[in-house]
Amino acid sequence: MDHVIDSRWRVLPIGRPETLRRAATEAALFGLAGLAGLFAVAVVIGVVIEEAFAETETGITADLVLRASLGGVLLFGMIGLLTLGALGALQGPLTARELAAAARRDTPATQVPIPDQWEGATESSAGAYKLLALWVLAILGLVYLVLVFVTLGDPDPTGLALLVGGGLLLAAIWCGIPLTKRVLEPRQMAIAAELEHRWTQAHREVADERELSEQDVSEARTRAGLTGRLPGRGVRTLNDLLILFVVVGVATWGIATHVTAAIAYPDRTYGPGRQLDDRASLDPADERLVDLIAVGGAIGAAVGMLAFVCMVVCEVIIWSVERRELRRALADGAAAPPPYLLLRRAMVSACPPALRLVFALAGATLALGFALWFVTLVADRPDWDTYAAAGQQLRDAGSLGPWIMLGALVVMGLGVALGSQLDTRDQALRDQLVQRWPVRSAEQELETDGEEAATGDAGPDARDGATPDAAGGTSV
């Protein structure tokens, strides 16, 4: 029989389905970030294109592609939100199943799953889909209402087909809400009951008592003559400076864009139907001023983009330095614990920064591929006369659109597989860390602080049982 007093946190092995789900969640999340970035670029850059490349094939091509990409942003944004909701709803059942599999492998009850794993398995995740599905339904519902009025005003077979298909799509999204609640949640709760019988409240409380606070880690590092400074100080300072360059660059671009529009297009209108109207007739001095401001905005944008790329490189370096510091500390049996913030960050399962950037770029590429395909699809249709100005080169590039979208999806799929593999590999590292220096993630710590404030609990040091210590989980 397992001795309850020996209970401690462990990162129990999580199989491929859950690691794939976690990596796919990050792919969807950062893919949405890429779509949002493309939307911002398309909105802001429109005036610059109109000013710098007006009436040129380059300007017309860029304008049409950016316009069409907004449709791709909406389409893939809705798909991304639904995917994110579905993946979130699967978290509970998959985590519960993995912990149940660990229990069937005769994992001792004293090896208590870390709080992230335990709460992921025992707290219902079915509401994740409902929350995001309602947002999607609200957005698509407005689009559907516009489609209804347009179709009923001028009925045609294509419009009626879109009306029926759109209604079926909205109904399918809505049906997913009760489906996740009635199918996934009961299965998860049934497994969770088995888990609570395996890892009892007594086991979890004793494991919780071994938790190290920030003060515990700080005192241990002080005794070893160390500070709480995170590794890679120089790179972190450079990263903070690059953030300033990004902000200044984007601000310069935005201000220059609006000033250029104010001078060159004084009769422009705002709102959903924003139009630049006719360009003002300016004297040579004013034209030079407009050109100078536009060039300054372009330089600001270029500086901001370059600084952002350098930020990503810095994040990759910081991630590598942190991993090296953690492994160095684990290799030394007498080493003081790494900084508290570093330990908390290491306990979070997340893809590396470079992989997140790949997901964001793939998301933006999906919308651009859609734009190329869409422009070619509607360029010769009378109802889409805006796109009739598409040049032959743009029309020829339309056939590449589906291949670009397919390539972006393949890259995201490979990224998910790689992220899953890295997650599986890092489980051993996180398990070694939590055995030696048991700490919670930031969210877990906030939840615990709230519970202690509500119950008047003085914290783990005030309870009976094992005394937390920073040297090997129980002694500094």
Instruction: Tell me: pLDDT of 469 over 60.
Output: no
Q: Which of 97-106, 223-232, 452-461 has the lowest mean pLDDT?
A: 452-461
pLDDT (tens digit per residue) in 345-401: 888 888 888 899 899 999 999 998 888 888 787 666 666 666 666 667 767 777 888
| 277 — pLDDT class (breaks 50, 70, 90) | low
What is the model's pLDDT at position 472?
A: 45
In whole angstroms, how far apart are CA 191 and each of 18, 76, 196, 221, 258? 16, 34, 9, 41, 58
Positive or negative torsion for Cα 36, 38, 39, 45: positive
What average pLDDT does range 143-165 have in this prediction?
Answer: 78
Looking up tokens 């908390």 gives 344
Threshold 0.75, pTM exceeds: yes
The number of beta carbons lying within 10 Å of the beta carbon of residue 460 is: 21
Task: Spell out the residues 6+ positions from residue 336 whose beta carbon is closer than 8 angstroms to its own.
Answer: 220, 221, 223, 224, 226, 329, 470, 471
What is the model's pLDDT at position 146?
A: 84
In whole angstroms, how far apart are CA 177 and each of 85, 136, 343? 10, 12, 37
What is the model's pLDDT at position 91?
A: 93
pLDDT (tens digit per residue) in 234-267: 999 998 999 999 889 888 887 887 787 777 766 6
Angstrom distance (rounded) from CA 237 to CA 209: 36
Distance between first and last Cα of the chain:
29
In whole angstroms, how far apart are CA 354 and each of 310, 359, 410, 456, 459? 12, 9, 17, 43, 38
What is the model's pLDDT at position 256?
A: 83
Angstrom distance (rounded) from CA 264 to CA 259: 9
pLDDT (tens digit per residue) in 109-118: 999 999 999 9
What average pLDDT does range 166-177 have in this prediction?
Answer: 89
The residue among 453, 26, 448 whose CA lies nearest residue 204 is 448
What is the model's pLDDT at position 456?
A: 46
126: helix, strand or coil: coil
pLDDT higher for 444 or 103? Answer: 103
Distance of CA 343 to the CA centre of its chain: 22
pLDDT (tens digit per residue) in 367-378: 988 888 887 876
For the chain, the farthest-separated pair of C-alpha atoms sits apart, in whole angstroms, at: 92
Alpha helices in 265-339 (DSSP H): 284-331
| 412 — pLDDT class (breaks 50, 70, 90) | very high
What average pLDDT does range 42-57 have in this prediction?
Answer: 63
> What are the residues facing 469 on neighbouring strands?
473
What is the model's pLDDT at position 55?
A: 59
Instruction: Tell me: pLDDT of 449 over 70.
Output: no
Q: Which of 42-51, 98-107, 139-148, 306-315 has the lowest mean pLDDT?
A: 42-51
What is the model's pLDDT at position 455?
A: 44
Average pLDDT value over all residues in the chain: 82
Q: What percentage of the chain exceeds 90 in pLDDT?
A: 31
| 246 contacts 45 by C-beta, under 8 angstroms | no
pLDDT (tens digit per residue) in 65-93: 777 888 889 889 999 999 999 999 999 99
What are the φ and ψ backbone dihedral angles of 398, each rounded to 5 degrees?
-60, -35
Looking up tokens 């409380």 gives 205
- Where do the DSSP E strands lie in 52-202? 111-113
Instruction: Tell me: pLDDT of 403 over 70.
Output: yes
